[in-house]
Amino acid sequence: MEKIVKINIEKLPEGFYLAISDAIQGLIAQGRTIAETLEIAKGVAKKLIEVQITNY
């Protein structure tokens, strides 16, 4: 099952992009491009959700 989660992305002064989400606590991802950052964020979100499900 896929879920839509709002992710905020901002460009850092160093030129990288940072992604965070209020919907998934602990989701932080950084990449060189927006696409790379989103891909990393997706993987992090999956792992965080798996941990939450396992702990319940």
Check whether 56 has a pLDDT greater than 80: no
pTM of the model: 0.86
How many independent structural domains does the chain possess?
A: 1
Tell me the helices (H) and strands (E) count for the chain, helix number first: 1, 3
Are 39 and 33 in contact by the 8 Å Cβ rule? The answer is no
Could you count the other beta carbons within 10 Å of the beta carbon of residue 7? 18
36-51 per-position pLDDT tens digit: 999 999 999 999 999 9
Q: Is 1 within a domain?
A: no
Tell me the two tokens of residue 13.
């002064």
The domain in which residue 29 lies consists of: 8-54
Taking phi over 0 as left and psi of -120 to 50 as alpha, with beta for the rest, 26 belongs to: left
- The residue ranking higher by pLDDT, 43 or 56, is 43
Q: Is 47 within a domain?
A: yes
Check whether 16 has a pLDDT greater than 80: yes
Total residue length of the chain: 56
Q: Is 3 within a domain?
A: no
